[in-house]
């Protein structure tokens, strides 16, 4: 589960009030790690493929993931 919230640094954001009691890890969204050149190139190739209409339907991806998890 992901939750995007905006915090002014002092007041409790309302998004946190809706979360169930538990332990959470918060990372700033602006501090994403840099991608390796290989991963960057892979994402660029994937975007080109999608723009050319060679994408895979979400249901097919989920089915493939479920099959792999069952093994």
How far are the Cα atoms of 15, 19, 55 from residue 11, in angstroms, in the given order? 12, 16, 43
Query: Any residues with CB less than 8 A from the CB of 1 and at least 6 apart, and which?
Result: none
Residue 1 lies in a domain: no
Tens digits of residue pLDDT in 2-58: 778 888 889 988 888 888 888 988 877 776 778 899 999 999 999 999 999 998 888
Structural domain for 59, as ranges: 14-70
Q: For the whole model, what pTM was predicted?
A: 0.42
Residue 7 lies in a domain: no
Residue 28 lies in a domain: yes
Residue 8 lies in a domain: no
Q: How many domains does the chain have?
A: 1
């Amino acid at each position: 589960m992901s939750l995007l919230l905006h915090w002014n640094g002092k007041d409790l954001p309302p998004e946190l009030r809706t979360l169930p009691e538990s332990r959470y890890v918060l990372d700033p969204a602006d501090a994403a790690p840099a991608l390796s050149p290989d991963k960057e190139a892979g994402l660029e190739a994937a975007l080109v493929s999608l723009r050319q209409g060679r994408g895979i339907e979400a249901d097919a991806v989920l089915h493939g993931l479920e099959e792999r998890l069952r093994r």
